Amino acid sequence: MNTIEQYIRDVQDFPKEGIQFKDITTLLQDPKGINDCLTNLLNLLEDKKIDKVVGMESRGFFFGTLLAQKLNAGFVPVRKPGKLPYKSISESYELEYGTDNLEIHIDSIKKGEKVLVHDDVLATGGTAEAVKKLVERLGGEIVQFNFIMQLDFLNGKEKLKGYNVQSVLNY
């Protein structure tokens, strides 16, 4: 068992019936858990050059900002509609329990910048696919997708074919 797995809590029927949610708030409550998780995420990168770390709302912000700091890179939040204060572009996506939209500032990524996309969980891949489209519309080059955990049975990695997709834990 990976050392961070002990910090992940399963919550049945959240956010709706039939979903078993992987909760990282228990991981965030423990300094050793945070450090172990960050170390594992950094190890997935194998010294790749990163200019920007893109974190997906909202759980992707926690480790996304830490990764950016350790990599001496900028951090770019991708948010739900109406949450960013400046001009943005939008992309819709489907997730295992509905549909939504994501936005990114139009000036957050410059053409040719090397981008790491980070989130806590890769499930169906809809969110990650939407972020991929946003980053590439701005001219960013995705170096890698990084996740704390991947739910293999939902086949989210299929939506990211041709990209380097890494996760600390696989379920």
What is the sign of the dihedral through the CA atoms of 69, 41, 150 and 142? positive
Total domains present in the chain? 1
- Domain membership of residue 119 (yes or no) is yes
pLDDT band at residue 121 using 50, 70 and 90 as cut-offs: very high
In a domain, 73, yes or no: yes
Residue 10 lies in a domain: no
**Does the annotation mark 136 as catalytic?**
no
Q: Is residue 12 part of a domain?
A: no
Does 135 fall in a domain?
yes
SS3 of the chain: the string is CCHHHHHCEEEECCCCCCCEEEECHHHHCCHHHHHHHHHHHHHCCCCCCCCEEEEECCCHHHHHHHHHHHHCCEEEEEECCCCCCCCEEEEEEEECCEEEEEEEECCCCCCCCEEEEEEEEECCCHHHHHHHHHHHHCCCEEEEEEEEEECHHHCHHHHHCCCCEEEEEEC
Distance, in Å, from the CA atom of 171 to the CA atom of 160, rounded to the nearest integer, reads 18
Is 140 part of any domain? Answer: yes
Distance (Å, whole) CA 57 – CA 144: 18
Give residue 76's pLDDT: 98
Mean pLDDT for the chain overall: 95
pLDDT digits (tens, 9 = 90+) for 64-84: 999 999 999 999 999 999 999
pLDDT digits (tens, 9 = 90+) for 125-164: 999 999 999 999 999 999 999 999 999 999 999 999 999 9
Instruction: Examine residue 58 and state whether it is found in any structural domain, yes or no.
Output: yes
Q: Which CATH number goes with the domain that contains 116?
A: 3.40.50.2020
Confidence of residue 94 (pLDDT cuts 50, 70, 90): confident
What's residue 96's pLDDT? Answer: 59
Instruction: Give 16's pLDDT tier (boundaries 50, 70, 90).
Output: confident
Of the listed 9, 46, 59, 158, which one is catalytic? 59
Q: Which pTM does this prediction carry? A: 0.94
Q: What does each C-alpha distance from 108 to 50, 84, 127, 137, 163 come to in angstroms?
A: 14, 11, 18, 11, 21
Residue 79: active-site member = no
* Residue of 57, 79, 91, 96 marked catalytic: 96
Domain interval for residue 88: 46-170
In a domain, 14, yes or no: no
What are the tokens at 100?
A: 């939504």
Q: Whole-angstrom Cα distance, residue 103 to residue 157?
A: 22
- Sheet containing 52-56: order of strands: 74-78, 52-56, 114-122, 141-150, 165-170
